[in-house]
Amino acid sequence: MENKYVHLSIENFVGILTLGRPEAGNAIDLQLAKELMEVAVFCSESENIRAVVLTGAGNKFSVGGDLKSFANEGDEIGSHLKIVTAYFHQAISYFARMNKPIIAAVNGVAAGGGMSLVCACDLVYASEDSKFVTAYNKIGLTPDGAGSYFLPRLIGVRRALELLYTNRPLDAKEAKEWGIVNDVFSNKKLMPFVLDLATKLANGPISAFGVTKKLLYHSLQETLESQMSLESLMIAERASSNEGKEGISAFLEKREAAYIKK
């Protein structure tokens, strides 16, 4: 896809998505939000993409919303933000709902909407010099990008409120300890690790990954019995699917499962 600010390349069934406004810290303006949504739709639909990696160009992941472009709207800033967040939120919805795993490779600061975007990813790996900061309340704003949904689910309400009220940044090590980040690597090792993992996942049972994600999200609003009912339905459905049949056969035959149609 030919985009100005959100670049997509495909390698080994992995869609590598790069936020491409390094001169502005990959800040999210209207154009970037719109392109992010379009790329999210493409990634969710393309048969050539079975896993997604999300990162930022330059030395930052994303500093969040482009406040300068927002302020330029003057009295229309409220209407403008509704349009920007409509695109941004639709992108996050597609990423969160698609069957394909999405992995964030955080290569620097992730602030505001950038941090929310990180929290919405399935797996997160960060460079040693990465920092995470909510940023919203410091400038009199409130979370967007599903930050108020994912953050308390990852770290709990009290810690989420602490970060939002105080604007205290977390370094990569602390973000890992709190459960925002899966692991931390040197700048040199971050992308090789993430791309290797994404390639392995791309060769896995994509539909099973998607259903597993849905089950986990549903578990937060279900009772014990209703969740187990969903589990029963889903595992029976997956066992009858082509993926399930191939996975079971491969296990019994002591071979690697072949989930990609050749």
CATH number, residue 104: 3.90.226.10
Q: Which of 202, 218, 236 is the last residue of a domain?
A: 202
Confidence of residue 142 (pLDDT cuts 50, 70, 90): very high
Question: What 3-state DSSP class applies to 60?
Answer: strand
CB 111 within 8 Å of CB 66: no
Give pLDDT, residue 109: 98
Number of independent structural domains in the chain: 2
Residues marked active site are found at 89, 144
Residue 260 is assigned to a structural domain of this protein:
no
Q: Which single residue is written with the structure tokens 């994303």?
A: 62
Query: Is residue 33's pLDDT more than 70?
Result: yes
Average pLDDT along the chain: 96
Q: What is the pLDDT of residue 2?
A: 73
Predicted confidence (pLDDT) at residue 261 exceeds the cutoff of 90? no
Same domain, 158 and 211: no
Asked if residue 44 is part of any domain, the answer here is yes
Whether residue 17 lies inside any domain: the answer is yes
246 lies in the same domain as 124: no
Local confidence band at 262 (pLDDT 50, 70, 90 cut-offs) = low
Does residue 257 lie in a domain region? no
Q: What is the mean pLDDT of residues 250-257?
A: 96
For residue 166, being part of any structural domain is answered with yes
Same domain, 193 and 218: no
Cα–Cα distance between 142 and 151 in angstroms, integer?
13
Q: What is the pLDDT confidence band of residue 135, given thresholds at 50, 70 and 90?
A: very high
Does any domain span residue 188? yes
Amino acid at site 2: E
What pLDDT is attached to residue 78? Answer: 95
In terms of domains, do 169 and 221 share one? no
Q: Which residues contact 165 (CB under 8 A, 6 or more apart)?
A: 137
CA-based angle 159:105:25, to the nearest 5? 85
Indicate the pLDDT class of residue 1, thresholds 50, 70 and 90. low
Query: What range does the domain containing 243 cover?
Result: 206-252
Note whether residue 261 is domain-resident: no
160-207 pLDDT tens trace: 999 999 999 999 999 999 999 999 999 999 999 999 999 999 999 999
Query: Minimum mean pLDDT among 36-40, 59-63, 165-169, 215-219: which range?
Result: 215-219
Tell whether 140 and 75 lie within a shared domain: yes
Q: Which residues contact 209 (CB under 8 A, 6 or more apart)?
A: 99, 100, 101, 201
Residues of the chain with pLDDT > 90, as a percent, come to 97
Read off the pTM: 0.95
- Domain identity same for 216 and 96: no
CA atoms within 13 A on the CB side of 52: 33
